[in-house]
Structure 1
Amino acid sequence: MSSSLFRTAVLKGHGSRRYGEIVLPHQVGHSLLVALFVAIACGLLLFFATCGYQRKAQVAGVVVPAAGLIRVTPVQNGLVSRRMVEEGQAVRAGDILFSLVSQRNSATGDDAEKAISTLIQSRRQSFAGEREQLLEQSRQRIETLERRSDDLAGDVARINAQMTLQQRRVTTHSSAT
């Protein structure tokens, strides 16, 4: 009888923990977060399985055929608007291969090349006007310097005349005494 009491007490003690039972709370936010991640993962898998994408790459340089026989370089930067030849078609020197569009828009939406051209024309006219002003100023300076030179030459001639007159007076005065 004592052995049965012992076993029942052990079984009873074994079932209860020293600090109590561990209870994990089940929060609704965790369930929603897990459901959101599962939905995102399913959406990504569905996208990769059904949808495709095209890779876009910009390549700088020259177009070189597989055999490496020629190099084709554009005269200007731009976008290809029309292709004039078909793949494998024989071409000769001077044939037009592609039509390029080089229209670039500025931040305001205007045609940037037209704005640049207008600006360059305005600058050219400004420089031409400035050049004309500088030439006129130079001409006026030259005229002023020529007049001053003529005035100084006249002053020198008057001073020489006065020196001659003074020398005559000195010689006349010294011969009179």
Structure 2
Amino acid sequence: MMALFRKEAVEHQNDFIHGDILIPLPFGITFSAAITLILFLCIALFIYSGKYTRKAHLTGIVMPSSGLVKITPQYAGYITRLTASEG
């Protein structure tokens, strides 16, 4: 039966005399990749462990527990019309 690959090609594939090719990366790329990975992991941890505060819309009046509130305006002026009533 005929082989799929030539004998020389198979022998060349198994030849490790020269070793692997190593391409050194600059320090800046390695540092940037590490910082990006750490930032990504922190964001993922925050999303996973974060809690959502439940909100509800209510109607009514908010009254202070100590009684009335003194409100002072930011600028001096005159009252020309009173449209609010107490109560």
| TM-score w.r.t. length of structure 1 | 0.23
Q: Which has the higher strand share?
A: 1
Structure number with higher relative contact order (C-alpha < 8 Å, ≥ 6 residues apart): 1
Larger Rg: 1
